[in-house]
Structure 1
Amino acid sequence: MKKPELLAPAGDLEKLKMAVIYGADAVYLGGEQFGLRKASKNFGIDEIKEGVEFAHSRGKKVYVTMNIVPHNEDLIGLEDYVMELYELKVDGVIVSDPGIFSVIRRTVPDLPIHLSTQASVTNYETIMFWYDLGIRRVVLARELSLEEIEEIIEKIPEDLEIETFVHGAMCISYSGRCLLSNYMAGRDANRGDCAHPCRWKYNLVEEKRPGEFFPVFEDEKGTFIFNSKDLCMIEHIPSLIRAGIKSFKIEGRVKSSYYVATVIRSYRMAIDEFFKAPENYTFNKDWIDEIKKASHRDFTTGFYFGKPTEEDQVYTSSSYIRGYDYVGLILDYDKKSKMATIEQRNRIFSGDEVEIFGPRIEHFTQTIEKMWDEKGQEIDVAPHPQQIIRMKIEEPVEPWYIIRKSREDRTDG
């Protein structure tokens, strides 16, 4: 068995670096054109260059999404853009549209192309169609069972890689090809501007009774009839590896860098632990408990073990479960004085009990006794976004370690 690639989302440069540091083998990002996530900051050419250099210097890969469903005007500038990506030495691009695929093959034939989940691939004959055109990695539709995935892998060439989503938000529409946002909000999901109407609250209205709203589900608040739980397959890592899936993809380019670090770290630990001794592997509940400390919905296994039922939907709220706040990022640490320099991310108070963790260590707990600002003045609270503060941390830490605080313990209520 070959260790699968752990593929992380990178919504901006900090998230890219966080993903690499916390254990991702590769990241995928969107440029300022041709991608499906306008809500994330996305990358200019100079940022892609910096991201590629950062990842490559650590032996990691960078893929760029170009998976919109384009109209004529969306093709303008495509050749120049892919030439720039090729010159920056990105490791591949992710596409769904045959037209964009054709332009890339014609312009930079050596640039690896991955077929996006937006292409809705659900069978080996479709995969072979794309294989004959030059595709060597396919991101399968999320509507496939593990049994179907195993059959596909058995029937395709060994040099064709299969990538599947293993964690993150689920789309209610087939492989993300959705018109609901365009119809209801005038925002085209297939061109990167989804308004996420699947998370909205719905009621039933009878044509001759305008203004009378009847709950579709027996609840006075209405219902979130399209609202799926989040995918989480960390408990099933051995089955995914043994199936022959080559890349485990984490969803979440619009999620926080804290989310990326937390989720990637747990999957990294689970995968590495399995390969230490596959026959003696035991799932560690701490891994999923750590994931739950990042913002999330309840979890589902999606289509992997059969079609989802009402148990895989959330009928009460579209809100995320958020038990912890990301309050600080370690910038520097002096071992002699045990003094850490920290960039604040949410308000921190003297007296707070916080948890601190890094990519290769278990978290530990500490109470903040004193804090100082950049001028060396003692402070009781760090209220300003990205404020630079200093405090003593008893256990050794390193840059990129994260400080979080339970929302139940918030000093500011």
Structure 2
Amino acid sequence: MINARKIELLAPAKNLECGIEAINHGADAVYIGAPKFSARANAGNTLEDIEALAKYAHQFKARVYVALNTIIKDDELAETEKLIWELYNAKVDALIIQDMGIMMLNLPPIPLHASTQNDNRTAEKAKFLEQAGFSQIVLARELTMSEIKEIASEISTPLEAFVHGALCVCYSGQCYLSEAISNRSANRGSCAQFCRLPYTLTDNEGKSVVQKKHLLSMKDLNLSDHLEEMIDAGVSSLKIEGRLKDLSYVKNVVTYYRQKLDEILAHRKQYIRASTGKSTYTFTPNLEKSFNRGYTEYFFNGRTPDMWSIDSPKSIGEPIGKIKEVFDRFFTLSGTKQLNNGDGLCFLNDAKELQGLRVNKIEGEKVFPAESHLSLRKGTFVYRNYDHEFEKVLNKKSADRKINADIVLSETKDGFKLTIEDEDGIETSLDINYNKELAQKDQTENIKNNLSKTGNTIFRVTDVKIRLTDNWFIPASVISEWRRSLTDLLLEKRLEEYPQEEVIHIQTSHSFPTKKITYLGNVSNDKSKQFYIQHQSTIEQVAFEKKAQKGVPLMFTRHCIKQSMGCCPKETSTRPPYQEPFHLLYNATKLRLEFDCKNCEMKVFND
């Protein structure tokens, strides 16, 4: 279909190995951290590895995006500009950026994506970014389906949205809690994750409302049941979170979403896949077997009270069953799922704290844990957060991605000609001078079989046509050599013809939606100041990291503790038996909560 919209499955890459496996398991694009200035400071990569990943991805017309999405200091601007040119020369497909100062640098013609760190929540903001020259816009995780539709209706720039993975409780780019308490800036890629700590909630009189619970810790996002709705709403790039996740996570989650997407694309002809090649797998994916804190659809279909992982910020895994009986050295479980030696199990103890154990031995329904003195109780629900057999499969080669191709062997005056054409219509040929000799037996099947053996290449030969005038004898070793040369030529041509997108960046001066830039604008360098002034705004405050503001909110969240506790004044007329303001206490840290009920938002202050 000529006007079909490309749909992209975008996967995380902690490093080169993860990126390659994401491609092998079906990703249409991967995003990876730059050597510096990435929002995951511990997930940087060398230029050599990034270039190698781009070359590997481009074989399949898959893309590589590099995250350069922190705010930049003045003395880092020259280094940033140099790095951007190096990434352009490494043939990456786009940069994901947060700092608007980058727009004022001398840039190569490389596409720019507006990071979710830009707090992209409104159609007005999206229109501004489109006019500023961004090629893709990463939406805030908190958006509902109707809000996504509204943004998509206002712009033509492709939209990228998260479908799976960890959730920040705060709007991305608007969290200053870590910087305020520990001088570790989330906007500089060094978040200390204070949102994952256990807090005691107290009221205005100091009464304890909730004791030591993870009140700011969100479950993990899982929108796998809503992919078609997201695509119909206008999302073109479906993003999996996880640049710090391990290899088995990437393999499992990417495979799951690839298969779900393929089912959709098979019957929705107005959409097409953004890359080529088909993956085959040695395993059946299961999202419950990879790291998760329990799953939520977040705000996609509106607010629900069960978005938080209140008991633990750790992975709980898949539900197994309840403990039937506890004995001295073993316990028995209800449920039908097979357990194996080496599995990791977890459960909530009497204090509602997550505890773990390793399975040492299984005898029938008897489970012998490696640990002793566990606070196991009859009726306790048990989860498996490490499946030993599943991980063993993923630790081996678990996918193969191949591009279909057809080969024709024909005859020339001086020998033979081999022609190969792949599923994208890319074609090349090999002319071979060869002294022809007649064979004693029919060579057709031998020739077809040898031309079909593409081995460790990225190609899968689906058809071989033999167009010869006689039954010529060609040794198998010779055919194999020809075939290798032919597929090498095709691979070279695929890389030569890769459609590398280039964008000439032109300075703009249209009005920025926010006229007065406060610390929320994250202005940390002079180039960023110039950008906002050029776009008709005034700078009232610089970035919090540059000058800390007193008495200002350090977090803005759509998650509301009052609503999650059943105390939302919009949902109930019953007044709670507690007086505001509420505070969150953790050791010496005391955070005050403020509730903006009109806008359904919660603000967090450091008192």
TM-score normalised over the length of structure 2: 0.49
In structure 2, C-alpha distance between the alignment counterparts of 1:123 and 1:254, rounded to whole Å: 29
Which one has the bigger helix percentage?
1
Matched AA of 2:161: T
1:353/1:167 CA distance change after superposition, 3 Å: closer
Task: Summarize deviations over 1:252-274 as a string: whole Å, max 9, x none.
Answer: 00011110111110000000011
The residue type paired with residue 136 of structure 2 is R
Structure 1 segment 2-21 matched on structure 2, within 5 A: 2-21=5-24
Paired residue for 1:197?
A: 194
Cα distance in 1, alignment partners of residues 129 and 205 from structure 2:
51
Q: How many angstroms apart in 1 are the aligned matches of 2:388 and 2:130?
A: 54
Q: When the two structures are aligned, how many residues end up with a matched partner?
A: 322
Q: Identify the match of residue 276 of structure 1 among 263, 266, 272.
A: 266
Q: How far apart, CA to CA, are the structure 2 residues paired with 1:359 and 1:234?
A: 21
Change in Cα spacing, 1:49 to 1:24, as seen in structure 2 (3 Å) is same
1:322-349 per-position Cα deviation (integer Å, ceiling 9, x unaligned): 4699x9xxxxxxxxxxxxxxxxxxxx99
1: distance between equivalents of 2:388 and 2:162?
Answer: 35
Shift of residue 208, structure 1, vs aligned partner: 11
State the Cα distance separating 1:44 from its structure 2 match.
0.9
Instruction: State the distance in 1 between where 2:308 and 2:264 align.
Output: 30
The answer (yes or no) to whether the contact 1:167–1:249 under 8 Å persists in 2 is: yes
Aligned partner of 1:122 in structure 2 is 121
CA displacement at 1:353 relative to structure 2: 7.9
Match of 2:28 among 14, 25, 31: 25
Counterparts of 1:258-297 in structure 2 under 5 Å? 258-278=248-268, 290-297=286-293
1:301 to 297, 303, 323: 297
- Following superposition, the deviation at residue 33 of structure 1 comes to 1.0
Partner of 1:409: none
Deviation at 1:310, TM superposition (A): 3.1
Q: For residues 256 and 176 of structure 1, do their structure 2 counterparts lie closer, same or farther at Cα, with a shift above 3 Å needed?
A: farther
Query: How far did residue 359 of structure 1 move?
Result: 3.6
Identity of aligned residues (%): 35
8 Å Cα contact 1:216-1:223 kept in structure 2: no
CA distance in 1, matches of 2:191, 2:388: 38
Change in CA separation of 1:243 and 1:288 when aligned onto 2, cut-off 3 Å:
farther
Give the residue type in structure 1 aligned to 2:72: P
- Give the secondary-structure state (helix, strand or coil) at the position aligned to 2:5: coil
Per the TM alignment, residue 289 of structure 1 is displaced from its structure 2 partner at its CA by 7.2
1:354 to 381, 384, 389: 389
SS in 1 for 2:389: strand
Residue of structure 2 in register with 1:404 after alignment: none
Q: Which residue of 2 aligns with 1:246?
A: 236
Find out whether 1:311 has 2:317 as its counterpart. Answer: no
What's the secondary structure of 1:302's corresponding residue? coil
CA shift for structure 1 position 136:
2.0
* Letter paired with 2:244: V
Q: Secondary structure at the match of 1:182?
A: helix
Is the 2:145–2:300 Cα contact (8 Å) retained in structure 1? yes
How far does residue 39 in structure 1 lie from its aligned partner after superposition? 2.6
The correspondence of residues 134-145 of structure 1 with structure 2, limited to 5 A, is 134-145=133-144
Q: 1:234 maps to what in 2? A: 224
Residue of structure 1 equivalent to 2:167: 170
Q: Which runs of 5+ in 2 are unaligned?
A: 270-282, 319-338, 343-359, 364-386, 402-454, 457-607
Query: Which residue does the alignment assign to 1:148?
Result: 147
Normalising by structure 1, we get a TM-score of 0.71
Question: What is the DSSP-based 3-state SS (H/G/I as helix, E as strand, rest coil) of the residue aligned with 1:354?
Answer: helix
Could you tell me how far 1:251 is from its partner in structure 2?
A: 0.5
Letter in 2 for 1:117: T
Matched letter for residue 354 of structure 1: E
Match of 2:38 among 26, 35, 38: 35
1:70-109 to structure 2, matched below 5 A, reads 70-103=72-105, 106-108=106-108
Q: Distance in 2 between matches of 1:205 and 1:73?
A: 44
Query: Does the Cα contact within 8 Å between 1:19 and 1:260 map onto a contact in 2?
Result: yes
